[in-house]
Amino acid sequence: MHGTTLSRPRLVVVGNGMAGMRTVEEILAIAPGIFDITVFGAEPHPNYDRIMLSPLLAGEKRFEDIVLNDYDWYASNGIRLIAGEHVDWIDRARRIVRGAAGTEAPYDLLLLATGSSPFVLPIPGAELDGVQTFRSVADVGDMLATARPGAKAVVIGGGLLGLEAAHGLDLRGAEVTVIHLMPTLMERQLDASAAHLLKQNLEARGMTILTGTETAAFIGDDRVRAVRLKDGREIPTDLVVMAVGIRPNAGLARATGLECNRGVIVDDFLRTSDPAIFAIGECVEHDGKVFGLVAPIWEMARVAARAMTGTPGIGFTPAASVTRLKVSGVEMASAGAFLGDSGTEDIVLRDGARGTYRRLVLRENRIVGLVAIGDASDAAWHFQLLKDGTDIGEIRDSVIFGPLADGPADPDAAVMALPDGAEICGCNGVCKGTITRAIKAFGLASVDDVRARTKASSSCGSCTGQVEALLRAALGTEYAPATVKPVCKCTGLDHGEVRRRIVGGKLKSIPAVMQALEWKTPDGCHVCRPALNFYLLCAWPGEYVDDAQARFVNERMHANIQKDGTFSVVPRMWGGVTNARELRAIADVVDKFDIPEVKITGGQRIDMLGVKREDLPTVWRDLNAAGLVSGHAYGKALRTVKTCVGSEWCRFGTQNSTRMGIALEKMSWGSWHPHKVKMAVSGCPRNCAEASIKDFGVIATEAGWDLLVGGNGGIRLRGTDLLCKVTTEAEVLEYCAAFLQLYREEAHYLERTAPWIERVGLDYVKQAVVEDEDNRKALAARFLHAQTFAQADPWAMESAAAAGAKFTHVAELT
Ligand X SMILES: Cc1cc2nc3c(=O)[nH]c(=O)nc-3n(C[C@H](O)[C@H](O)[C@H](O)COP(=O)(O)OP(=O)(O)OC[C@H]3O[C@@H](n4cnc5c(N)ncnc54)[C@H](O)[C@@H]3O)c2cc1C
Residues near ligand SRM, by CB under 6 A: 560, 562, 568, 570, 599, 601-603, 605, 607, 633, 639-640, 676, 678, 693, 712-715, 752
If one asks whether residue 161 binds ligand X (CB under 6 A), the answer comes out as: yes
Quick one: which segment of 39-47, 345-353, 567-575, 704-712 binds ligand X (CB under 6 A)?
39-47
Secondary structure element (H or E) that encloses residue 87, with its range:
strand 87-91
If one asks whether residue 577 binds ligand SF4 (CB under 6 A), the answer comes out as: no
What is each CA distance from 225 to 220, 237, 391, in whole angstroms? 5, 5, 57
Least Å distance between CB 565 and ligand SRM? 12
Q: Exposed (0-12), middle (13-18) or buried (19+): which is 270, by Cβ within 10 Å?
A: buried
Task: Write a three-state SS string for 420-464.
Answer: CCCEEECCCCEEHHHHHHHHHHHCCCCHHHHHHHHCCCCCCCCCH
Residue 599's binding partner out of ligand SF4, other proteins, ligand SRM, none, with CB under 5 to 8 Å set by partner kind: ligand SRM
Question: What are the DSSP calls for 102-115, one per residue?
Answer: S-EEE-SEEEE---
If one asks whether residue 683 binds ligand SF4 (CB under 6 A), the answer comes out as: yes
306 forms bridges with which residues in the sheet? none
Whole-number Å distance between alpha carbons of 554 and 516: 29
Question: What are the DSSP calls for 14-80, one per residue?
Answer: E--SHHHHHHHHHHHHHSTTSSEEEEEESSSS--B-GGGHHHHHHTSS-HHHHBSS-HHHHHHTT-E
Residue 652's binding partner out of ligand SF4, ligand SRM, other proteins, none, with CB under 5 to 8 Å set by partner kind: ligand SF4
Residue 615's binding partner out of other proteins, ligand X, ligand SRM, none, with CB under 5 to 8 Å set by partner kind: none
Instruction: For residue 807, give the nearest of 469, 558, 607 by alpha carbon.
Output: 558
Residues 331-359 as b/e (b if ≥16 CB within 10 A, e otherwise) read bbbbbbebbbeeeeebbbbbebeebbbbb
If one asks whether residue 115 binds ligand SF4 (CB under 6 A), the answer comes out as: no
What is each CA distance from 160 to 190, 205, 246, 280, 446, in whole angstroms? 11, 17, 12, 22, 47
Instruction: For residue 745, give the nearest of 672, 636, 662, 683 by alpha carbon.
Output: 672
- Helix (H/G/I), strand (E/B), else coil: 358: strand
Quick one: which segment of 35-43, 118-126, 344-352, 680-688 binds ligand SF4 (CB under 6 A)?
680-688
- The dihedrals phi and psi of 96, each to the nearest 5 degrees, come to -135, 135
If one asks whether residue 646 binds ligand SF4 (CB under 6 A), the answer comes out as: yes
What is each CA distance from 98 to 86, 95, 508, in whole angstroms? 9, 10, 60
Which residue type sits at 703? A
If one asks whether residue 270 binds ligand X (CB under 6 A), the answer comes out as: no
Smaller CB separation from other proteins, 12 or 333:
333
Smaller CB separation from ligand SF4, 469 or 644:
644
Quick one: which segment of 187-195, 274-282, 428-436, 764-772 binds other proteins (CB under 8 A)?
187-195
State the Cα torsion 533-539-543-547 to the nearest 10°. 0
Smaller CB separation from other proteins, 206 or 343:
343
Least Å distance between CB 554 and ligand X? 47
Instruction: For residue 722, give the nearest of 707, 701, 740, 741 by alpha carbon.
Output: 707
Q: Exposed (0-12), middle (13-18) or buried (19+): which is 727, by Cβ within 10 Å?
A: exposed
**Selected binder of ligand X within 80, 86, 262, 508 (CB under 6 A):** 86
**Selected binder of other proteins within 550, 637, 738, 770 (CB under 8 A):** 550
User: Residue of minimal CB distance from ligand X?
Assistant: 17
User: Residue of minimal CB distance from ligand SRM?
Assistant: 714
If one asks whether residue 290 binds ligand X (CB under 6 A), the answer comes out as: no
Contacts of ligand X in 307-336 (CB under 6 A): 325
Quick one: which segment of 148-156, 294-302, 442-450, 524-532 binds other proteins (CB under 8 A)?
524-532
If one asks whether residue 87 binds ligand X (CB under 6 A), the answer comes out as: yes
Smaller CB separation from ligand SF4, 171 or 681:
681
Least Å distance between CB 645 and ligand SRM? 17
Residue 640's binding partner out of ligand X, other proteins, ligand SRM, none, with CB under 5 to 8 Å set by partner kind: ligand SRM
Total number of residues binding ligand SF4 (CB under 6 A)? 12
Instruction: For residue 162, give the nearest of 149, 147, 176 by alpha carbon.
Output: 176
- Helix (H/G/I), strand (E/B), else coil: 221: coil
Do the strands 677-682 and 696-700 form a parallel or antiparallel pair, or are they unpaired? parallel
Whole-number Å distance between alpha carbons of 538 and 673: 8
226 forms bridges with which residues in the sheet? 219, 236
- Residue 330 CB neighbours (<10 A): 19
Residue 683's binding partner out of ligand X, ligand SF4, ligand SRM, none, with CB under 5 to 8 Å set by partner kind: ligand SF4
- Residue 508 CB neighbours (<10 A): 15
If one asks whether residue 341 binds other proteins (CB under 8 A), the answer comes out as: yes
Residue 560's binding partner out of ligand SRM, ligand SF4, other proteins, none, with CB under 5 to 8 Å set by partner kind: ligand SRM
Quick one: which segment of 341-349, 603-611, 676-684, 701-709 binds ligand SF4 (CB under 6 A)?
676-684
Whole-number Å distance between alpha carbons of 609 and 135: 60
Total number of residues binding ligand X (CB under 6 A)? 34
Least Å distance between CB 613 and other proteins? 9
Quick one: which segment of 131-139, 623-631, 632-640, 645-653 binds ligand SF4 (CB under 6 A)?
645-653
DSSP, res 336: E
- Helix (H/G/I), strand (E/B), else coil: 664: helix
**Selected binder of ligand X within 40, 383, 705, 756 (CB under 6 A):** 40
Quick one: which segment of 13-21, 356-364, 372-380, 638-646 binds ligand SF4 (CB under 6 A)?
638-646
Instruction: For residue 105, give the nearest of 129, 125, 84, 80 by alpha carbon.
Output: 80
Quick one: which segment of 78-86, 334-342, 699-707, 749-757 binds other proteins (CB under 8 A)?
334-342
Smaller CB separation from ligand X, 61 or 725:
61
If one asks whether residue 267 binds ligand X (CB under 6 A), the answer comes out as: no
Smaller CB separation from other proteins, 525 or 703:
525
If one asks whether residue 145 binds other proteins (CB under 8 A), the answer comes out as: no
Which residue type sits at 146? T
If one asks whether residue 530 binds ligand SF4 (CB under 6 A), the answer comes out as: no
**Selected binder of ligand X within 25, 30, 34, 43 (CB under 6 A):** 43
Whole-number Å distance between alpha carbons of 534 and 529: 9
The binding track of 551-590 with respect to other proteins, each residue x by CB under 8 A or -, is xxxx-xx---x-xxx-------------------------
Q: Which residues bind other proteins (CB under 8 A)?
A: 183, 187, 191-192, 339-346, 521-526, 529-530, 548-554, 556-557, 561, 563-565, 805-806, 809-814
Binding-site ranges for ligand X (CB under 6 A) = 14-20, 40-43, 50-51, 53-54, 86-87, 113-115, 134-135, 161, 164, 249, 252, 281-282, 292-295, 297, 325
Which residues contact ligand SF4 (rule: CB under 6 A)?
644-646, 650, 652-653, 682-684, 686-688
